[in-house]
Structure 1
C-alpha cells in the first residue's frame, strides 16, 4: 500500500513538473510564474517520502524533460530538483523553517554551480566570459555615443569608473550565486508551505521575522575574515576573492540580523510597526549612512544577546 502510494505520488507530481516545465519554456507572460513553481513537485514528494525516492523522481523528470522539452531543460531540472529535494527532505525530518531554508539554499547553490559546469563542459560556453563580452560591447557603445557629443574626456573618466565597478562585481559572483539561491529557496519554501498545508492538512509556516537569530559563529567568521582582509593580498589570488565574498555575505546577514532585532525591540516595547518598517526604508534610502549602524546592531545582537537583556528588563 505504501509502495503504491509512493508510485502514484511520483507519477502525478512528475507529470505536474513536466507541464510546468513546458509552460515555463513555451507560454509567454506566465513563464516566470511557472519557473518559480518548478521546485514545488519535488518539495511535496520529498516532504512525504524523503530524499531517496525523490532522487528517483528527479532522474525520471530529467529524462522526460529532455524528451518533451529541450536538452537545455536538463540543467534547469537538476537545479530545481536538487533545491526542491533539500527543502522537502528537511520538511520530512521536521526541521525548523530557517534550517529548512538553509538546506534549500545549499541545494540551489549546488544546482547553480552544476549549470555553470554543464554550460562550460558540455556546451563549451563560459557564462562569465559571455557576460564580460556583453558588458564590454555595452561600454564601447556608450563611449562612442559620448564621444560623438564631444564628451571624450568625460567618457574616458566614466569608463574607468565603470571598469572598476565591473571588476568588483565579477569578483563577487560567488556572493551573487548565494543571494540568488537564498531568494529561490525562500520563495520555493514559502509557496510549498501553502500547498502542503492545503493538501496534507499541515500547519507549516515561517516564524515572525523578529525571531530570526543567526548562530554566534557568524560573528567570529566575520571578524576573522575582516582581520585577514587587512593583510596585503594578491588581488588576482583565490584568497582575496574568498575574503571579499565572505565579508560581503556575512555583512549582509548581520545587517538582516540588525533589522530583525529592530522588529523584535518594537514588538517587545509595544511600539508601532512604523518604527521597524521606517528603519528599513530609511536604510535603503541612505545606505552609506545607516547600513553600517544596522550591521553593528546585528553584531551586538548576536554576540551579546541583546534580546535576553530586553526580556530581563521587561520582567
Structure 2
C-alpha cells in the first residue's frame, strides 16, 4: 500500500511539475510566479518520502522535459528538483526552518552551477560574458549621459575609469550573485511550500521570528580569514583574490543580517514598538554606510552572545 501510494504521489506531483514548467516557458505573464512554484512538488514529495525517492522523481522529470519541452528546460528541472529535494528532505528530518533554508540554499547553488556549466558547454552561452556585455552597454549609456550634462575632458575620463572599475568588481563578484540568487530562491520556495503543506497536511510549518536568527561563531573566523587575505597585495587575476573578495562579501552580508536580527531582538526584549526596527532597516537601506555599523553589531552579537547575556540578566 505504501509503495503504491508513493508511486501515485510521485506520478501526480511530476505531472504538476510538468504543467508548471510549461506555464513558466510558454506563458510570459505567469512565468516569474511559476518559476518560484516549480520546486514545490519536489518539496512536498521529499517531505513525505525523503531524498531517495525524490531523486528518482527528479530524474524522471528531467527525462520528461527533454521529451515534451525545449532544450533549455532540462537545467531548469535539475535546478528546481535539487533545490526542492534539499528543502523537502530537511522538512522530513524535522530540522529547524533556518537550517532547512540553509540546505535549500546549498541545493539551489548546486543547481545554478549545473545550469551555468550546461548552458556554457551545450548551448554555448557564457553568463559572465553576457553579464559583462550588459554592464558594458550600461557603462556606455552612462558615459553618453554624462556628456549630455556637460562632463568632458579629464572629468569624463575619471568617471569612465571609475565605471570600468565597478564593472570589473561586479564581474569578480559573480559567484556572490549566484549565492544570493540561491538564498532568495530557497527562501521563497520554502515559504510557499510551508503554505501548501500546511494547507494540505494540516501541519504548522513556519519560519521562527526573524529576531531569533543566529549564526554560528565559526562565521566570524571565516570572515576574519577573508579580511586578512583582503589586506594582502594579491593579483586581481588570481583565484585566491577572487575567492577572498567573494567570501568577504558573503560573510559580510551574513554579519549584517545578524546585526539586523539583533535590532529586532532588542526591540522585542525591551518591549519597543515594531515600527522602530522596521524604520531602522529602511534607514540602513537608504544610508548604506550604516550597514557597516550593523555588521559590527552582528559580529559583537555572535562573538559575545549578547542575546544570551541579556536573557540571563533579565532572568536574574
Cα offset for 1:60?
1.1
TM alignment of 1:6-155, pairs within 5 A? 6-143=6-143, 151-153=151-153, 154-155=155-156
Q: Distance in 2 between matches of 1:301 and 1:186?
A: 24
TM-score (norm 2): 0.95
Tell me the residue number matched to 2:163: 162
Q: Distance in 1 between matches of 2:189 and 2:162?
A: 37
Cα offset for 1:151?
4.6
Tell me the residue number matched to 1:292: 292
Cα offset for 1:158?
2.6
TM-score (norm 1): 0.96
Residue by residue, what CA displacement relative to the aligned partner does 1:22-42 show, whole Å, maximum 9, x if unpaired? Answer: 111111311111111000000
Matched, 1:241 2:233: no
Q: Which runs of 4+ in 1 moved over 6 A?
A: none
CA shift in 2, pair 1:6/1:219, >3 Å: same
The 8 Å contact of residues 267 and 274 in structure 2, kept in 1 or not, is answered as: yes
Cα offset for 1:155?
3.9
The 8 Å contact of residues 143 and 156 in structure 1, kept in 2 or not, is answered as: no
Tell me the residue number matched to 2:231: 230
5+ unaligned residues in a row in structure 2: which ranges? Answer: none
Tell me the residue number matched to 1:258: 259
CA shift in 2, pair 1:268/1:137, >3 Å: closer
Count of residues paired in the alignment: 314
Aligned-residue CA RMSD (Å): 1.5
CA shift in 2, pair 1:272/1:143, >3 Å: closer
CA shift in 2, pair 1:268/1:141, >3 Å: closer
Cα offset for 1:181?
0.2
Cα offset for 1:313?
2.4
SS of the aligned residue for 2:29 comes to coil
Tell me the residue number matched to 1:197: 198
